[in-house]
Amino acid sequence: MTSPSVRIAVVDDHILFRKGLHALVSGFPSMEVIFEAGDGEELLAHLDHGKVPDVILMDLQMPNLDGLQTTRLLRSQFPHVRVIIISMHDEPELIESLRAEGAHGYLLKNADPEEVHAAILTVIRKAEAHTAIPAL
C-alpha cells in the first residue's frame, strides 16, 4: 500500500524559478504538484475552482496579490491549507510578521533541496498533530 500524496501548489511570479521548484518537488516521494500560479490572484482562482492543495510554496514578493496578502486571505478562507513562504529576505522581523499573519513555514530561495523537503514534511506532520500554528 502506498502512502497518500501530499498535494502541493507552487506560486511564484518568476517562471524559471517556479518550474524549477515544481520539478524539484515532483521528485520527492509521495508529493505531487497539482498546479502552479504566477501570483496570489491566480492561486485563489485555482482554489475557487476546487483545486485545493495541502501545502502552498509561495513567493513573498509578487505582483497583483503578494505572498503576505494571500496568506492573510488563506488563513480565513482555507485555514487547513499550510503555507510555506519562499523569499530571498531573511530578516527576523519579517519572518515573525509572516508567522503572525498565518504562514506555517519560511524558506530562503537559496535553500538546499533537503530543506525544502523537510519543511513540507514538517508542516504536514504538525497539521496532522493538530498544532494551531507550527513554529517557523
For residue 129, is pLDDT > 60?
Answer: yes
- Cα distances (angstroms) measured from residue 18 to each of 3, 32, 41, 102, 119: 26, 14, 16, 22, 17
For residue 29, is pLDDT > 80?
Answer: yes
What would the CATH number be for the domain defined by 6-131?
3.40.50.2300
Q: What is the pLDDT of residue 126?
A: 84
**pLDDT by residue (tens digit) across 80-97?**
999 999 999 989 898 999
Q: What is the pLDDT of residue 120?
A: 97
Handedness of CA 115, 112, 106, 66 (dihedral sign): negative
Average pLDDT of span 119-136: 74
Q: What is the pTM of this model?
A: 0.90
